[in-house]
A and B are shown apart, each in its own frame.
Chain A
Amino acid sequence: MHNKTLAELAAGLKAKTFSSEELTRHFLGRIERFDPKLNSFVTTTAEGALAQARAADASIAGGEVGPLLGIPYAHKDIFCTDGVRTSCGSKMLDNFIAPYNATVTSKLLAAGAVMLGKTNMDEFAMGSSNETSFYGPVKNPWNLDVVPGGSSGGSAAAVAARLAPAATGTDTGGSIRQPAALCNLTGIKPTYGRVSRYGMIAFASSLDQAGPMTRTAEDAAIMLGAMAGFDARDSTSIDRPVDDYRAALGNSLKGLKVGLPKEYFGEGLDPAVGAVVQTAIDELKKLGAEPVEITLPNTGLAVPTYYVVAPAECSSNLSRFDGVRFGYRCENPKDLEDLYKRSRGEGFGPEVKRRIMIGTYALSAGYYDAYYLKAQQVRHLIADDFKQAFEKVDVILGPTSPTVAFKIGEKFNDPVTMYLSDIYTIAVNLAGLPGMSIPAGFAHDLPVGLQLIGNYFDEARLLNVAHQYQQVSDWHQRSPAGFE
């Protein structure tokens, strides 16, 4: 059952080949058996899952149908889930039982999806390797010595090891696409404003977006269809109807103009990863796509721009964790300042503290213009690069990550090197565009992801390209050994 796609599982439920309760028990059993090796879940919610599954079975028996009705999924522990601990990978929220549901949580609940548990992640989504979690690093099912990527590393490892058929993720600088690439999954970060951020614990509010992590593009289309939509509770949500993502999957790629930014194939890219991406481009050509060389001249500025904008917003967002209203509080504070300082000092890990300090400095008196304002200007230049490119091409294609998954501990003590592993994904968040990663092959025995970038609200086209590629390739069907 665990090798079936969401579409196949929905068909099995409808035909009553198996019940949602059986399906849920099957995945819960796999989590119990395999997760000690991976550490991909922070919390499992077996009891709640079985109750949701039984409710779904009753609905199915009553003739109700739905693409996610009775389908289990794993939920990144950044989404508030009423009555369930929502830790965001931090000691600060280790004791936090969310008192309400994020909009994404409510939408999946309303669709009848069954939540198996909450997945591990980098602390407050700040990381590219899942090593900054308070709950310890997540292992990559393809090789237990390497990272699964981050920050949605628990979601990626869980789906890759078939502990869940699909998972949610969030992406501020690549946190859906990079772990999807490193674990051989399909993941999509939608246009900024497409999925509600309400109840999704904020890291950098102008960059954060939620999206699905699945095995196939069709499954991503199903999940995104359920997650997306206008929400009055998110002030940056865009009021625009959600496309029928599944309906566009079958479109032909004949004549599709695919932009290849020369900056994404230069220095820093592992040649073995580059070769895999080139083979995928050749495959797309056979489907009728037409590659066009393009330039995104400000690509090199994306990571430094991000490391001003994201920490600035993080320092502001994370000021809410004060040890007073919820979350961790230090023992025996001697006065109010001591309460704030020790609660935050003890509750946050080193990477979160680094980013709060970068942001605090960049926003402090006398430095605002030199850092934050400057970065927001450069951000405009980066967005303009894409705007010009999309006058000539339909989608942009390149590697998701410059290398395959690296060893646990390898980059942990060198923040700048770690930050550069997101070089191809970060510009997409700065511009607010949709981006996707799909399995494209292997290098050094580890998965390689192909990144597709679309124009604003062009998710349907990205999913269509990914689906067509998956009709002529089988990389996405490969599963790691040891989790049969």
Chain B
Amino acid sequence: MALDSSTVEKIAHLARLGIDAKDVPEYARNLSDIFAFVEQLNAVDCSGVVPMAHPMEASQRLREDVVTEQNLRDKFQAHAPKVEVGLYLVPKVIE
């Protein structure tokens, strides 16, 4: 399967990944090679095969619905790019 440049741009947008326009053709080439390689899975007959969720068929453990973590907001926000009065700052979203 060959991915064209516009598909690569679309995927990059979905992943919120900024890609230089000059790099798009190379990504298109690499990703096409990888998908061509992955395509051999299509030839495998998987009818009746259950998708594997966990090697030991374990399911997610549940815990009591109680607070177990301490509030470490200040510590966690100390390395945030931009904070003010305990809030994370981002560019203006609503006009």
Report Cα–Cα, A332/B7, bound state, in Å. Answer: 28
A360 contacts across to B, CB distance below 8 A: 11, 14-15
| Cα(A300)–Cα(B81), bound, Å | 45
Pairwise interchain contact B38-A308, C-beta atoms closer than 8 A: yes
Residues on B with beta carbons closer than 8 Å to the beta carbon of A345: 17-20
Residue A301 is within 8 A (CB to CB) of chain B in the complex:
yes
| Cβ A433 vs Cβ B55 within 8 A | yes
Give the interface residue-count category, chain A: 35 or more
**B14, closest chain A residue (CB):** A360
Are A377 and B93 neighbours in the complex by a CB distance under 8 Å? no
- In the complex, the answer to whether B38 meets A376 with C-beta atoms within 8 Å is no
Are B41 and A305 neighbours in the complex by a CB distance under 8 Å? Answer: yes
Residue A341 interfacial (CB < 8 Å): yes
**Cβ-closest chain A residue relative to B38:** A304
Q: Which of A325, A333, A376, A416 contacts B52 (CB 8 A)?
A: A376
Asked whether any CB of chain A lies closer than 8 Å to the CB of B58, the reply is: yes
Q: Chain B interface mostly helix, strand, loop or mixed?
A: loop
Interface residues of B in 1-20 (CB under 8 A from A): 3, 7-8, 11-20
Which chain B positions have C-beta within 8 A of A315? 15
Contact across chains for A361 and B40 when beta carbons are under 8 A apart = no
CB–CB A373/B80 < 8 A: no
B: number of interface residues (CB 8 Å): 53
What separation, in Å, do the CA atoms of A64 and B6 have in the docked complex? 65
Interface flag for A222 (CB, 8 Å): no
Q: Known: A232-B63, A301-B40, A378-B44. Is A99-B75 also a contact (CB below 8 A)? A: yes
The residues of B that contact A361 with a CB separation of less than 8 Å are 3, 7, 11, 31, 35
Q: How far is the CA of A340 from the CA of B35 in the complex (A)?
A: 26
Q: Is the CB of B41 within 8 A of A308?
A: yes
Contact present for A357 and B12 (CB under 8 Å): yes
- Given A354-B27, A377-B49, A378-B46, residue A304 in contact with residue B41 (CB < 8 A): yes
B residues neighboring A (CB under 8 Å): 3, 7-8, 11-20, 23, 27, 30-31, 33-35, 37-42, 44, 46, 49-56, 58, 60-61, 63, 72, 75-76, 78-82, 88, 90-93
Q: What residues make up the interface of A, taking CB atoms closer than 8 Å to B? A: 95-97, 99, 191-193, 206, 232, 235-236, 238, 300-301, 303-305, 307-308, 315, 319, 322-329, 333-342, 344-346, 348, 350, 353-354, 356-358, 360-361, 364, 370-371, 373-381, 383, 415-416, 419, 430-433, 456
